[in-house]
Amino acid sequence: MTEHVVVNDEAGIRTIRMNRPEKKNALTLAMYDAMTDALESASTNDAVRCVVFAGVSGAFSAGNDLADFLAATQGTGRWSAQALRFLPALVHCRKPLVAAVSGVAVGIGTTMLLHCDYVAVATDARLSTPFVGLGLVPEAASSLLAPRMMGPHRAFELLVMGHVLNAMQAKECGIANVVVAPEDVDAMGIKAAREIATLPAGAVAAARGLMRGSGDELEARIALEGKIFNERLQSPEAKTALEAFFARKR
Ligand code: COA
């Protein structure tokens, strides 16, 4: 249990809101666990027809808490078991996934969007995946999904060069469906979820299953990325970059 993730069920729609505004919704281990539990129970709960991920004003999520990455460079040298439980839950969630994104969406805050079925972004959205700058590699099967979604060149710019996508660019790349004002983004996500929730649930599940396949390929890629990610966490490059993040305000 953590107050940093708020789960709410209403009219067949489960909203999973990341709620750690003071840290721009950087994801802690407890937050991963809470989001995983909410996804897994949504899968088996007939009353839940659609799941909406939301953040707070100005921050969808700043990605994995870098303190945990830094601790991993000094300790276990491994990305957390909690995050590695969250990723398969995203892949295998049996309910449609919608995201309402405003403000920063960094690292997994962006790569989780590649697993969503419908994404609304606010005009202030800034999507980025600075893994390589941190001495790390992309995760969440983004190394497979991003080139497929936006083509290898634009995926390289995002995943390797770390360029930031604004809202319109995210839409042009196919990551986002729609761009709305920041104050409207949550309502837009709920509106899309309501539309999905009114469709015949069996047919939605069948169509979605056809489009997404078994998820085996994604799971295999997540495992491969995870292996290399852990190797990178033990590199001097990662240690230096992560220490620099926390030293930047001193
Ligand atoms: N992990 C841990 N703490 C984080 C964080 C993260 N991923 N992202 C932000 N924070 C913290 C900051 O350290 C700061 O804490 P403090 O007030 O105690 O110093 C607080 O959240 C606010 O962040 P700040 O950097 O002051 O806000 P900003 O609006 O200037 O910048 C970001 C926001 C997200 C662009 C910037 O914080 C950032 O680049 N964060 C790192 C993102 C990242 O690399 N994620 C992992 C990707 S693999």
Name, in order, each residue with C-beta under 8 angstroms of 145's C-beta and a sequence gap of 6 or more: 111, 114, 115, 218
Q: Tokens at residue 109, please?
A: 């805050």
Say if residue 250's pLDDT is above 80. no
**Residue-level pLDDT at 74:** 84
Q: Show the ligand 1 pocket: residues with CB < 6 angstroms.
A: 23-24, 26, 62-67, 104, 106-107, 130-131, 134, 249
pLDDT mean across residues, the chain: 96
CA of 23 to the centre of ligand 1 (A): 6
Interatomic CA distance for residues 158 and 152, integer angstroms: 10
Q: Tokens at residue 68, please?
A: 């945990």
CA of 64 to the centre of ligand 1 (A): 10
CB-CB contact of 168 with 176 (8 Å) = no
CA of 199 to the centre of ligand 1 (A): 39
Which residue's CA is the closest to the ligand 1 atom numbered 34? 62
Q: For residue 191, which amino acid is it?
A: K
Mutate to test the pocket of ligand 1, among 22, 24, 245 (most ligand atoms within 8 A of CB): 24
Query: Hey, how many other C-beta atoms are within 10 angstroms of the C-beta on 224?
Result: 14
Percent of the chain exceeding pLDDT 70 equals 100
CA of 139 to the centre of ligand 1 (A): 19
CB-CB contact of 62 with 106 (8 Å) = yes
Span 9-51, pLDDT tens digits: 999 999 999 999 999 999 999 999 999 999 999 999 999 999 9
Which residue's CA is the closest to the ligand 1 atom numbered 6? 65
Percent of the chain exceeding pLDDT 90 equals 94
Query: Hey, how many other C-beta atoms are within 10 angstroms of the C-beta on 211?
Result: 8
Q: Tokens at residue 106, please?
A: 């960094």
Question: For the residues 151-171, what does the mean pLDDT come to?
Answer: 98
pTM score, whole prediction = 0.98
**Residue-level pLDDT at 76:** 75
Query: Hey, how many other C-beta atoms are within 10 angstroms of the C-beta on 242?
Result: 23
Band (pLDDT 50/70/90 cuts) for residue 225 is very high
Q: Tokens at residue 171, please?
A: 């839409």
Question: For the residues 123-130, what does the mean pLDDT come to?
Answer: 98
Which residue's CA is the closest to the ligand 1 atom numbered 1? 65
Span 61-118, pLDDT tens digits: 999 999 999 999 887 778 888 999 999 999 999 999 999 999 999 999 999 999 999 9
Interatomic CA distance for residues 125 and 119, integer angstroms: 12
Name, in order, each residue with C-beta under 8 angstroms of 182's C-beta and a sequence gap of 6 or more: 57, 102, 103, 122, 123, 124
